[in-house]
Structure 1
């Protein structure tokens, strides 16, 4: 021992332990990578209750630092807009052109990336390890302010309104456009939505069939009543009959023009919420796609991807109908202003819609009770043809016409989803509710709820708060807006109301009030005179029920088919 120091113990050659492979990312029960399907406890977030109920992403977002326009921003910061301060979007988009969306930044998302040093994954000679397998494991996460699931009228509308408000928006649509879809008749108030979306000029130039009104035909009494949309209203006195394949493509292209990043076809597989945002994973033709945002919008229509997984779908009693529909070429046409009118034929076994489209094409749909389908022993094409035969006026109009599409089917389409808002989540359009297509309200409701949802989300960015209670006012506005139309649908099937509906009188402003509902105006603004007129109409209906009972006439709703 030299210098009185401690004697050193001699060691043998150092043993180098093999480095374990990188730990794979955790998977859920279905084997999906990195996120839970949907986090339990939506509605309890950073401001709404216990944070522990929210699922957190299983892998960190890792990227080289980059300069973001408008201010300092860290990758994976929960979707906060670039340049936004602690209170969100008040200063969002500074220095960028107003009214346009902004493309997302992409960051690499690698399982276990947070545990790897800068030289991990390289051989001693500097070359990369893993080859094709390593490249397969690497994919891209796009960072947005908002992510929209679904590219129909609701999804494309909310995405466009958000992009016009200055947010970066990503939209996932699982199908290729154009694609066939039901719901081809618009309400006049939809023209206002198209104007606000910046799409009205394109729709006007598309050559769609113009529609000035709606005709209702009662086979039992051989009575027909046509309602022409009024002039001098906030909305025009016309609208269009639109093939949804073309119309939906037009709206989605309009969203692209406003800066929305569209992933198509890309089917969303998982959505995970946490206290800082939402992570959406989808599969596309070019492989998996992942997006990170501050808020998600369910615009997936009847599929209701988020609304049904996070809550429940309630079927509306007595509205369990089945619709069979197809397109015909060469059917008879009416002349003048009547040519483009939607026509509704009511008969004992159900009702039929007749929607004339441009290019000598007519959409014909037969709507019947589910028990009619259950009792039918043949195929759906034969049932569709048989229902048309039961309504002689429609059968006569189709004499000599050729069916040019297959017969499509929609079943049990009356439902209501709850919840439709949550922490960092809102739903629009058919992802909220759908009752009946009798008054052609589906497309307009989708676009209007998209506008209202965008207003709520933009306000959330201004305040920096995204919990469910911040979106409660949006849900109230939606429920209040659709209530008059839905009440009309229920009343329409009652003989006492239908009798008055088919013999309208403009006493107490009732006729104008009815047209306000049929035009979609009740969802925009309902004046007290309109509300009073509708209240009088429903009071007269109750009196008519009593009179029909005294006369021995049926009073039960046709919903009891």
Structure 2
């Protein structure tokens, strides 16, 4: 048996790579995951959506995820803007399916998922970088940390490289995002939060009191830690020296956050970090022998924690379609992969755009939403952005515009 010959090669061992590898392995295919880094490693995107649980369960990862004590149970999202507070309950939603999930330290979460895939029989090679790709032959040139480059032969390649965006770079597929180049400054803190002040079962998304285009996340974990970050355009942060100064200043300008974090210890083993110009796009999601998954294809924005959900959804779609193809059936990657995937991506894009132009914020902070509309919005925020039975998915832009006009005046009363 050729040790460098596989049915499927997957670039990247993050959530989409782990899920796709396990699903394909279940179908009896030989799968090799090539990962540049060594795990565990720090990565952002720590608040999962309930839709993820379907794919975690299908891949056989759920018991291991549930067993990790540092993962925090999550049942919804809370929003704050000045004196206005809104909670969205993911268990009360329009679409059937999981209504709860977890907030996770991604270095642990990603390590658990790929270790479970290894236990199931997936080959994973850490510390190896894909440096070239030939789509005519589906050959990857792989450079190990130590040693000579070698050729890995596959029948098909899935790029799950996330922010690394390996095939988009190698094949010149990248195109500008329609979203402005925002930046995120973040860290982890030891929070020491008084439980009476805050529901740890929900992510807290806060609109800055003076700048509606600046928002902050607070994601509690199960071990007295929180992830905290601030997102905005570069010009909002240009007068500050570093990420620490930016994050502390903007967080403590929010009365609710200042109160919740009054006992927090900001200094620990996690440094302050920044990601700039994170939104990205490509001119195609597939080729003759490859397809792009998750952030390797397109990343919108962290505001609704959609990144991991889109990644896992794309992994599930691709694994199902690739199973058909490798079993000798005709498939159409445009109509069976791209078009279905973009239903959810475009729905999320509507609400990301609406968040920054204020229309979706008006809806979130309105006091006169009906329970039915709230359930439809809850379903989307829980990750069920592919349910076209939900009017706020099927006609997202038109519905959001009409709803914002109806409820928006209530925000300013």
* TM-score normalised by L of structure 1: 0.67
CA contact (8 A) 2:179 2:300 kept: no
Shift of 1:533: 8.7
Shift of 1:531: 5.0
Is residue 121 of structure 2 the alignment partner of residue 256 of structure 1?
no
Higher RCO (CA < 8 A, seq sep 6+): 2
Which residue, out of 89, 102, 105, partners 1:240? 102
Name 1:300's counterpart in structure 2: 161
Which residue, out of 476, 485, 499, partners 2:339? 476
Name 1:174's counterpart in structure 2: 36
- Give the 3-state SS of the residue equivalent to 1:332 in structure 2: coil
- Counting only pairs closer than 5 Å after superposition, residues 138-537 of structure 1 correspond to structure 2 as 142-207=4-69, 208-219=71-82, 222-231=83-92, 234-274=96-136, 276-285=137-146, 287-335=148-196, 338-347=199-208, 348-349=210-211, 350-373=214-237, 375-402=238-265, 403-404=267-268, 405-463=270-328, 470-503=333-366, 505=368, 507=370, 509-523=372-386, 525-527=387-389, 531=393, 536-537=399-400
Choose 391-400 or 165-174, whichever is displaced more. Answer: 391-400
Q: 1:409 to 1:426 in 2, by over 3 A?
A: same
- Counting only pairs closer than 5 Å after superposition, residues 22-171 of structure 1 correspond to structure 2 as 105-106=1-2, 142-171=4-33
What per-residue deviation string (whole Å, max 9, x for no partner) do you get for residues 248-306 of structure 1? Answer: 001101211221110012121122232x4323323234553431111111111022110
Query: How far apart are the structure 1 equivalents of 2:294 and 2:140?
Result: 22
Q: Which runs of 5+ in 2 are unaligned?
A: none
- Give the 3-state SS of the residue equivalent to 1:187 in structure 2: coil
- Give the 3-state SS of the residue equivalent to 2:327 in structure 1: helix
CA contact (8 A) 1:340 1:355 kept: no
In our comparison, the structure showing a higher alpha carbon Rg is: 1
Query: How far apart are the structure 1 equivalents of 2:373 and 2:36?
Result: 44
Shift of 1:357: 0.6
What per-residue deviation string (whole Å, max 9, x for no partner) do you get for residues 474-522 of structure 1? Answer: 1111111222122111112233442222125554831111011011112
CA contact (8 A) 1:142 1:291 kept: yes
Query: How far apart are the structure 2 equivalents of 1:531 and 1:150?
Result: 30
- Give the 3-state SS of the residue equivalent to 1:433 in structure 2: coil
CA contact (8 A) 1:299 1:427 kept: yes
What per-residue deviation string (whole Å, max 9, x for no partner) do you get for residues 33-84 of structure 1? Answer: xxxxxxxxxxxxxxxxxxxxxxxxxxxxxxxxxxxxxxxxxxxxxxxxxxxx
Query: How far apart are the structure 2 equivalents of 1:330 and 1:532?
Result: 40
Q: 1:317 to 1:273 in 2, by over 3 A?
A: closer
What per-residue deviation string (whole Å, max 9, x for no partner) do you get for residues 401-439 of structure 1? Answer: 223210111111122112110010100010111111111
CA contact (8 A) 1:506 1:512 kept: no
* TM-score normalised by L of structure 2: 0.90
Query: How far apart are the structure 2 equivalents of 1:508 and 1:168?
Result: 48
Q: 1:423 to 1:383 in 2, by over 3 A?
A: same
CA contact (8 A) 1:460 1:470 kept: no
Name 1:74's counterpart in structure 2: none
Q: 1:541 to 1:324 in 2, by over 3 A?
A: same
CA contact (8 A) 1:148 1:169 kept: yes
CA contact (8 A) 1:505 1:511 kept: no
- Give the 3-state SS of the residue equivalent to 2:149 in structure 1: strand
Shift of 1:537: 4.6
Query: How far apart are the structure 2 equivalents of 1:149 and 1:532?
Result: 32
CA contact (8 A) 1:319 1:435 kept: no
Query: How far apart are the structure 2 equivalents of 1:290 and 1:278?
Result: 6
CA RMSD between the two structures: 2.6
Q: Which runs of 5+ in 1 are unaligned?
A: 1-104, 107-140, 554-561
- Give the 3-state SS of the residue equivalent to 2:121 in structure 1: coil
Query: How far apart are the structure 2 equivalents of 1:209 and 1:448?
Result: 22
Choose 399-408 or 150-159, whichever is displaced more. Answer: 399-408
Q: 1:392 to 1:285 in 2, by over 3 A?
A: farther
- Give the 3-state SS of the residue equivalent to 2:25 in structure 1: helix
